[in-house]
């Protein structure tokens, strides 16, 4: 263990996992709870303490950089997490993962956008930070298990959709390993958001009425374009109507646009335009007013960077597929699985599917896993 020379907080380095406690739900099972300063993680810690676990609250300091016009809320979130820990009378620590977060999440996100793809930083944060670095650091520091305020269920290393399907966060968790899930508790999996708020109010927690965070997961109330512009230079280019091949406007960088996007094009008059494709080499954004345009719809999906939580799906079997958080589940069939690539056939074409997004497979409420969409 070492001291953070800047903040003085305890910083724990990851190491090999420790054995899980032999009893669950009593004070011999030590659970480290990731406390973000929000109501969900606050209630998570409260519920675990009520259930008899030995609980320690952990604030993960992942990002603390202010941007022009936007103040990172980390200090306020840390203060709220500390206040809840005091209310619950539980130990509290800070794990500083800023360096790793910049390398594994932020740099990854920037590189993906610069390549013309649309990544999901929440997925990468869960894979690399919360259920890898945090898990191993917690175990190394004496924890038996970890817990977070995600709306999801886990049992025997398997991941299931939460009771509150509107808040379900399994889409963001599909790259977590079964070993990590065996060491993780999701106390909110059987609760609705309304019930969580009510519990926080009942306990008088200072975060009971705190609004859910908006915008980019690690920055707060800032749009993705505004964030990217702090790291990627604007580069004016043409917006071309795919139907007529005419230049109808200008953009400030193809990197800032994604397939299916409507807002932010600033192409005046008439029907709304939608982004159909991008030429990153020529810095061109192609658009259409035709919602039936073939470029906007896909029924055959190519995936790579596959991750199956327990076992791979079966070729020829029908599964449910989610292409974005809170998007409807659609029917699909796995038609090919070769090495680290898969081909999925959708029963009905879906609109605005962009390379870099995650596609997550479900068998009923069970999360199978998924991969990253390719062009």
Distance CA 250, CA 268 (A): 11
The CB density around residue 110, as the number of other CB atoms within 10 Å, is 19
CA R_g for the chain: 22
Catalytic-role residue among 217, 334, 342, 360 = 217
Question: In the block, which residue shows the tokens 């609004």?
Answer: 211
Identify whether 332 is a catalytic site residue. Answer: no
User: Residue 159 in contact with residue 176, Cβ under 8 Å?
Assistant: yes
User: Residue 189 in contact with residue 160, Cβ under 8 Å?
Assistant: yes
175: left (phi over 0), alpha (psi -120 to 50) or beta: alpha
Identify whether 125 is a catalytic site residue. Answer: yes
Sign of the dihedral defined by the CA atoms of residues 64, 14, 147, 329, in that order:
positive
The CB density around residue 28, as the number of other CB atoms within 10 Å, is 13
67-91: burial string, b at 16+ Cβ within 10 Å, e else:
eeebebbbeebbebbbbbbebbebe
User: Residue 217 in contact with residue 49, Cβ under 8 Å?
Assistant: no
Catalytic-role residue among 85, 125, 180, 353 = 125
Question: In the block, which residue shows the tokens 């007013």?
Answer: 289
Q: Which residues are catalytic?
A: 125, 217
């Amino acid at each position: 263990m070492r001291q953070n020379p800047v903040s003085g907080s305890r910083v724990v380095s990851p190491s090999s996992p420790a054995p899980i406690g032999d009893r669950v739900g009593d004070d011999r099972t030590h659970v480290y709870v990731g406390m973000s300063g929000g109501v969900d993680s606050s209630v998570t810690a409260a519920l675990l303490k009520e259930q008899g676990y030995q609980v320690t609250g952990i604030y993960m300091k992942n990002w603390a950089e202010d941007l022009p016009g936007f103040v990172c809320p980390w200090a306020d979130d840390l203060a709220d997490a500390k206040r809840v820990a005091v209310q619950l009378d539980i130990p509290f620590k800070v794990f500083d993962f800023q360096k790793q977060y910049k390398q594994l999440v932020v740099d990854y996100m920037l590189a993906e956008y610069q390549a013309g793809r649309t990544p999901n930083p929440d997925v990468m944060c869960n894979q690399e930070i919360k259920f890898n670095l945090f898990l191993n650091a917690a175990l190394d520091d004496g924890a038996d298990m970890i817990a977070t305020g995600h709306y999801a269920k886990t049992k025997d290393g398997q991941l299931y959709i939460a009771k509150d399907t509107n808040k379900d966060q399994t889409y963001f968790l599909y790259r977590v390993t079964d070993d990590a899930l065996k060491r993780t508790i999701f106390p909110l999996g059987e609760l609705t958001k309304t019930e969580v708020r009510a519990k926080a109010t009942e306990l008088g927690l200072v975060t009971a009425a705190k609004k859910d965070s908006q915008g980019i997961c690690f920055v707060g109330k800032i749009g993705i374009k505004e964030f990217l512009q702090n790291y990627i230079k604007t580069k004016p280019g043409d917006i071309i109507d795919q139907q007529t091949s005419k230049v109808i406007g200008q953009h400030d960088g193809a990197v800032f646009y994604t397939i299916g996007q409507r807002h932010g094009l600033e192409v005046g008059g008439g029907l709304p335009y939608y982004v159909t494709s991008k030429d990153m080499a020529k810095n061109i954004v192609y658009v259409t007013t035709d919602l039936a345009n073939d470029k906007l719809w896909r029924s055959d999906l190519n995936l790579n960077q596959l991750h199956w939580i327990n076992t791979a799906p079966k070729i020829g079997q029908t599964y449910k597929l989610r292409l974005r958080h809170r998007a409807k589940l659609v029917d699909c069939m796995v038609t090919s699985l070769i090495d680290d690539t898969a081909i999925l056939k959708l029963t009905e074409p879906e609109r605005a599917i962009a390379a870099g997004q995650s596609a997550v497979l479900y068998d009923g409420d069970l999360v199978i896993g998924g991969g990253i969409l390719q062009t």
